[in-house]
Amino acid sequence: MQTGLIGAASLCMLGAASLAAELPPPLPAEHLTVEKLAPKNPHWVYVLDEAFFNEIDSRVYLFDGDSYRQLGQIDAGFNPGINLSPDGSTMAVGTTYFARGAHGARTDVVEFIDNSNLAVSGEIVLPPKRANTLPTYFNLAYSADGRFLYVAYVTPASSFGVLDPAKKSVLSEIDTAGCVLVIPSGPNRVSSLCENGRMLTVTLNADGHEGSRSLSEPFFDPDSDPVFVQGVPSNDGYVFLSFLGQVHEVDTSGVHPAFRQPWSIVTPAERDKEHWRPGGQTPLALQRSLGRLYVPMHRGGEGSHKDGGTEIWVFDVKTHQRLARWPMAPLKLGPAIAVQVSQDAAPLMFVATDKADVGVFDALSGHLKQVEKQQLGQTPWFFLNP
């Protein structure tokens, strides 16, 4: 169509040139191009829209926390899990498609996205066992060296798949009965959270099959004070948070996970009298270089652990001191259901609310810099740093 108009358009240019000699020069013709992404910026963030009301159409938006512009979109299918390769160059999207939209033959697959152009660069088809659940860091995850990609399975029997992202193949399936999710450490260790509060760690051999496994002592009480599965990466492992505000730091740098003494983000009075609780879909974020923990907090009781935070509380993970309380209501923001913080020296905090607004904050001062009003999907529930 365009090329078909070259003749006509050229004539038009001539016609205009002669007729409009007294006018300022006309705007030149434009090229239709495909936008190229700039080199990645620590203030970019991947926003996963679960699209709960049209759940087969989940997507990931790449959003720039400096320009407040959407840079692109990655389609993510149904009930996706996402994670990044160690070098950040590739996004792995673990998802499920149906041959006829929301019905027909089911295909579980990991699609690989080239983050330099947001194009699909390949895929690995999975057995139809992928855990269909909400996003965490642990639905699928790469080994530290990027050699393996682990995918959590639930049928409801639990296991995980070991994939070779280079050869685009499935290497093995490893049973984890009683334990779920894939928490990676080192080049070949995969930990899972168990129903009895223990951590299962499977060490793989060179071909991605099980070499050995070990079960830790219980590090939390799943009955009295369970931890959220939404743990976040720390400098030497992961930080987990409990429903009642206990912080469980796990060092996974060794062969066996080491659990530091838990500490609480709430005083006994805050917990038992004021009933302050963490909550949401993504109820914590960690700024690793500053050692600051950001937690959406609300007042509620049993069953309120997915309620959004009416305030964001900020903690120093070394001193365990609370550094700030940032209420949402004065900012005209609804309760915070998901939080993330950038890992650079001038960090931004991203907060998604129960109204699907996304606030961009100065993570040091708590200053609200921008609100994206329902522009990042129906249900933005998870953020990944680039």
Partner 1 sequence: MRSIDRLLERSSRSLAQRTSRRSVLAGLGRLLTGAALLPLLPIDRSSSAQAAESGTHKSAVDDPQNCEYWKYCAIDGFLCSCCGGSSHSCPPGTAPSPITWIGTCRNPADGRDYIVSYNDCCGKASCGNCECNRNEREKPMYRLSRNNDINWCMANTDSNYHCSVSVILGVSEQQ
Give the position of tokens 């080199």: 39
Residue of the chain from 75, 173, 210, 344 that contacts a copy of itself (CB under 8 A): 75
Q: Least distance to partner 1 from the beta carbon of 162, Å?
A: 20
Q: Which of residues 44-83 bind partner 1 (CB under 8 A)?
A: 52-57, 59, 62, 67, 69-75, 78-79
Interaction of residue 370 with partner 1, rule CB under 8 A: no
How far is Cα 304 from Cα 244, in angstroms, rounded to an integer? Answer: 11
Q: Which two tokens stand for residue 277?
A: 């609780």
Per the DSSP assignment, residues forming a β-bridge with 312 are 296, 326
CA 292, CA 235: separation in Å to the nearest integer? 12
Tell me, residue by residue from 29 to 48, as one string, x for binding to a copy of itself by CB under 8 A and - for no binding: --------------------
For residue 51, state whether it binds a copy of itself (rule: CB under 8 A): yes
Please give the residues from 172 up to 231 whose contact with partner 1 meets the rule CB under 8 A: 177-181, 192-195, 222, 226-229
Note whether 263 binds partner 1 by CB under 8 A. Answer: no
Give, as one character, the DSSP assignment of residue 379. -
Tell me which stretch binds a copy of itself (CB under 8 A): 75-83, 216-224, 301-309, 340-348.
75-83
Task: Count the site residues for partner 1 by CB under 8 A.
Answer: 100
Does residue 373 belong to the site contacting a copy of itself (CB under 8 A)? no
Residue 343, interface with a copy of itself (CB under 8 A)?
A: no
DSSP string, 68-98: TEEEEEEEEEEEEEEEE-TTSSEEEEEEEEE
Find which of a copy of itself, partner 1, none residue 345 binds, CB within 5 to 8 Å per kind.
none
As measured in angstroms, the least distance from the Cβ of 79 to a copy of itself is 12
CB 139 within 8 A of CB 81: yes
Give 200's contacts (C-beta < 8 A, 6+ positions apart): 176, 178, 179, 191, 192, 194, 213, 214, 215, 216
Residue 166 as a binder of partner 1 (CB under 8 A): the answer is: no
The single residue listed with the structure tokens 């709430």 is 266
Task: Give residues 304-323 in contact with partner 1 (rule: CB under 8 A).
Answer: 304-307
Name residues whose C-beta falls within 8 Å of residue 264's C-beta, 6 or more positions apart in sequence: 244, 245, 246, 247, 271
Two structure tokens written together for 332:
């005209």
Helix (H) or strand (E) holding 268: helix 268-272
- Using CB under 8 A as the binding rule, whether residue 99 contacts a copy of itself is answered as yes
Beta carbon nearer to partner 1, 81 or 208: 81
Which residue ranges make up the site for a copy of itself (CB under 8 A)? 51, 53-54, 56-57, 75-78, 95, 97, 99-104, 107, 109, 111, 120, 123, 378
